[in-house]
Amino acid sequence: MNVERAKAIYDSSENIAVQLDGKPIWIEHVDQANGMATVQIGSRPGNTQTVRVDRLEEQ
C-alpha cells in the first residue's frame, strides 16, 4: 500500500479491511512524510505498532 492510500483509508468514514502480515489492523495514524503508520493489531487498543505503510495490505 502507498502512503496516499493509507491516509485515504484513515480519513474514510467507511470500514475498510486492512491487514498487516495477515492479521486485521486499524490504522490509528499516518506519518506521510516518513511513509509510516501507527496501527492497532486486532481488537486490543494497547496492541499498537508503527510500521512502513508498504507492509499494509487492503483486503
- In this prediction, residue 3 has a pLDDT band, given cuts at 50, 70 and 90, of very high
The pLDDT, as a whole number, for residue 31 is 98
Structural domain count, the chain = 1
With bands split at pLDDT 50, 70 and 90, how would you rate the model's confidence at 46? Answer: confident
Position 38 scores a pLDDT of: 97
CA distance 21 to 11: 22
Query: For position 44, what pLDDT does the model report?
Result: 82
- State residue 50's pLDDT score: 97
Secondary structure percentages of the chain, helix, strand, coil, to 5: 20, 45, 35
Report the CATH number at residue 51: 2.30.30
Cβ atoms of residues 48 and 26 within 8 Å: no
Q: Residue 8 belongs to what domain range? A: 3-58
